[in-house]
Amino acid sequence: MRTSRRLTLALANLVLTLAAVAAEPDAVLERWEQEWTLQPDGTQVYHELRHVRINDERAHGEFADPRITYNADTDTVEVLVARTRRPDGTCVALPDYADLEVGPDATAGWPAFAGLRQRLLVMSGLEPGCLVELEYRVTTRAGARPFLAADVRLDHRYPVRARVLRVKTPPDVPLSTFVRRPGVPAEHESDPLSPGGGEWTYRDLPAAPEEPQSPPWQVRCPRIAFSTAGFGTRAWEQQRLARLEAAAQLDGELRRVAHEWTAGRDGAERLRALQEKLAATLAVVDFDAHWRPETLRPAPEVLRSSYSTPDEATALLLALARAAGLPVRPALIVSADPWSDYAPQDAWVLCTAVGLVPDTMAPSPGEESSGHRRVASASPAAHAAPSAEQPSWHFDARSELWDVRYGRLTGQPRLMRTHVLPRAPTGRDAPEPLPVDVPVDYTAATQRGLKLDLALREDGTFSGDVALSARGALIATEPLRTADAQRGKVSEWVGRVLPDAQVDGVSVTRLTDGVFEATAKIRSSKPLRKLGDTWCLTLGPDGPTPAEVPLPLAYGRRLGPVWLAGPFVEQLTLTVELPTGWEPAGTLPELRAGGGDAGPWSVEQRATRDGPKWTLTRRTSIGTHQLPAGAWGPLRASLNTLRSEAGRTLLVRPAPAP
């Protein structure tokens, strides 16, 4: 009896223990400390200590197999503590065979980046309730990095019990800091300018789960950014631009290639030709900015190797443009969302680019290889920043085109707030300015209208006309310079409404920056689906919203806001003329929903009939780039109503005989 009672008590304790573990988050960061030190001789030391309690194997990932990335040419790594403390108090040290040196996936196979390594630590003794302890130090030799800088997220997707950040610098080195701590109590906070460094301590930071299309962590999470470049952008900006200039070297082969690639082109089209050719021939190896070598390879070497970092690609494009006689300057396009003048740093650079200098600033003959040009005109206008209306194209070498008004224009469209550096010049010897910095207006919605007039025939086929009008920051008109591209874009947009439509005879009526208007003829590629004597005209499942603004419709519950490419208005008018004697066999659901206080959005759909003509009108609007979490559920429900087969299928048939 006693044995049975002991067994029962043991089982009960085990159940209670397992229940307690199950009630805990998958992981908890019990202690997390990070420290950056700039020594008087310029050596930089990074020290991290992290104790993580793992309650479920779902949290293993970065904690069970941590990776320490470093550059073997400039850094040394010391693993001070790596062990697992089991729930019973025993420790399992990291075995020697579990400390591996590997190469980062992003740089594998590229000889110029062979110095980038990772220490992969495969922790042992993992079980629910264990504590994984890791402490290491990375020392970077003096001169390898021009500034001590970092942008640090304070919280994590798992709760953090104790969080400490320290920055130590010599008293004579300026340290600028930027602190963003929404709802986080600070025990100590440094001043914006902190001689000697600073320390920040936080406790009980709640978990910040990652959700699809969440705002960047720099926008939604508490963070601390610091830099020894000093307040403002001048020193950091000059250093970044100077290394691009230093790499933009010329030789005979590079000049020959520049003239060959621009043959038959005039004016600014030469820069476009160089960018397009370079994008097609150069492999750009993109990886974390913190890992990239500080010194860029010379442009001729990059041209011969046919691969580069993004900055090396920009330096090569800069050299090619100068070899072709173009008045160009390097530019830094930085993200305005995390930007702070207190702590400028490389992590906020979206891309480096090449910008065309206004014609009044063209170089004198023989200056093509100089990084410091003379201004051809001595008039005051030559030194003034161009107006916002002046064309302001910036090319980078990765098939990307930027406009300071609209951010990225090619590739996957996404509306961004950006700054273009350098801004207006200061000082007598300052370089000529690139076009003015014009932040994107998030309140200006992209508008797209699609009007289709169809005639349905008795065999289930249709034909008709389409008129398309699109304008706004999300309309990438730069790639639409060819007839094939224009037809492809019209086909893409029509196909989202009528998947089986064939587009013919595209005629573009207007194509300017951010504006695309066209008409076309359309016809069905096959008869409509038929059920008995009823024909089904089924619209595409993604019709209510533009492809340029993806939405995470698979997820119904949100804790945080939904980050969109930009505000938009999508208008569809579809008119179908039915054959004589035909009639709709059912009606599409009418819908009129709006966000009200929960957010600026609206979804509307209505259908009307005028004799043989049936007209569907649909309008979807979201007036913000950051939709509140409370608005997401009702909006998603409205969109899914329109995306359902019942919400997008018109049934028509011949009228029954009297």
The β-bridge partners of 389 are none
Residues forming CATH 3.10.620.30 domain(s) in the chain: 234-374+389-421
Confidence at 23, pLDDT banded by 50, 70, 90: low
Query: In 545-585, at which residue ranges do the beta strands (DSSP E only) sit?
Result: 562-563, 568-577, 582-584
Q: 85: Cβ–Cβ under 8 A, 6 or more apart, which residues?
A: 91, 130, 131, 132, 133
For the residues 258-269, what does the mean pLDDT come to?
A: 89
> What mean pLDDT comes out for the span 458-462?
93
- Residue burial 55-68, b: 16+ Cβ < 10 Å; e: rest: beeebeeebbebeb
Looking at the whole model, is its pTM more than 0.75? yes
Q: What are the pLDDT digits (tens) for 97-141?
A: 999 999 998 888 899 999 999 999 999 999 999 999 999 999 999
Is the pLDDT higher at 12 or at 60?
60
pLDDT score, position 149? 94
CATH 3.10.180.10, applies to 234-374+389-421: no
CATH fold, domain 24-227, is: Immunoglobulin-like (2.60.40)
Q: List CB contacts of 418: < 8 A, sequence separation 6 or more.
A: 333, 334, 335, 336, 350, 402, 404, 407, 439, 440
Q: Which residues touch 111 (CB under 8 Å, ≥6 apart)?
A: none
Q: What is the CATH number of domain 446-654?
A: 2.60.120.1130
pLDDT at 617: 95
pLDDT band for position 269 (50/70/90)? confident
Range from 371-385, 532-546, 552-566 carrying the lowest mean pLDDT: 371-385
Give the number of other Cβ atoms within 10 Å of residue 162's Cβ. Answer: 15
Q: Which residues are 618's β-sheet partners?
A: 572, 605
Query: Residue 301's pLDDT band (boundaries 50, 70, 90)?
Result: very high
Structural element, H or E, at residue 620: strand 613-622
Quickly list H helices, 351-461: none
More confident residue, 19 or 550: 550
Q: Which residues are CB-contacts of 334 (< 8 A; sequence separation ≥ 6)?
A: 348, 349, 350, 418, 419, 420, 421
- Residue 634 backbone dihedrals phi, psi, to 5 degrees: -60, -40
Q: Are 117 and 73 in contact (CB under 8 A)?
A: no
Cα→Cα distances 427→143, 421, 431, Å: 28, 16, 9
Residue 535 CB contacts under 8 Å (≥ 6 apart), including other chains:
456, 460, 528, 529, 651, 652, 653
Among candidate residues 74, 92, 76, the one with its CA nearest the CA of residue 84: 92
Share of the chain above pLDDT 90, in %: 51
Q: Which residues pair with 100 in a beta bridge?
A: 120
pLDDT in tens, 399-427: 555 444 334 434 444 445 667 777 644 44
Distance from C-alpha of 476 to C-alpha of 122, rounded to nearest angstrom: 46
3-state secondary structure of 106: helix
Residues 310 and 297: their CA atoms lie apart, in Å, by: 12
- Quote the CA–CA distance of 355 and 396 in Å, as a whole number: 9
Between 181-195, 575-589, 605-619, 633-647, the lowest mean confidence (pLDDT) is in 181-195
Closest Cα to residue 324, out of 363, 352, 361?
A: 363
Distance CA 343, CA 210 (A): 26
- Report CA torsion sign: 311, 316, 322, 324: negative
For residue 630, CA distances in Å to 206, 559, 595 come to: 20, 9, 9
- Who has greater pLDDT, 478 or 103? 103
Structural tokens at position 412: 């996957």
**What strands, in cross-sheet order, belong to the sheet with 582-584?**
529-531, 534-538, 649-654, 582-584
Determine the pLDDT at residue 122: 96
Strands (E), 181-324: 197-205, 223-227, 283-284, 307-308
User: What is the number of residues in the chain?
Assistant: 658
- Residue 70: pLDDT above 90? yes
pLDDT value at residue 404: 40
Kindly indicate the confidence band of residue 366, based on its pLDDT and cuts at 50, 70 and 90: very low
Look at residue 2 in the predicted model and tell me its pLDDT.
Answer: 57
Q: Is 181 strand, coil or helix? A: coil
* Band of residue 193 on the pLDDT scale cut at 50, 70, 90: low
Q: Which residue has the tokens 């019209």?
A: 490
pLDDT score recorded for residue 446 = 84
- The whole-number pLDDT of residue 368 equals 39
Close Cβ partners of 106 (under 8 Å, ≥ 6 residues apart):
285, 286, 287, 288
pLDDT of 169 reads 94
Q: The tokens of 125 are what?
A: 């003794």
Closest CA to 113 of 68, 77, 147, 73: 73
Residue with tokens 């008018």: 573
Listed ranges 283-292, 449-458, 548-557; the one with the highest mean pLDDT = 449-458
Residue pair 40/142 in contact (Cβ under 8 Å)? The answer is no
pLDDT of residue 113: 93
Output DSSP code: residue 231: S
Q: ω into residue 550 within 30 of 0, thus cis?
A: no
Q: In whole angstroms, what is the distance from residue 247 CA to residue 40 CA?
A: 29
Rounded distance between C-alpha atoms, residue 98 and residue 120, angstroms: 8
Start-end of CATH 2.60.40.3140 domains in the chain: 24-227
**Residue 386, strand partner residues:** none
Range 441-453 average pLDDT = 78
145-159, 218-232, 277-291, 588-602: the lowest-pLDDT one: 588-602
pLDDT at 635: 93
Q: Which of 152-156, 446-450, 565-569 has the lowest mean pLDDT?
A: 565-569
Every domain range in the chain assigned CATH 2.60.120.1130: 446-654
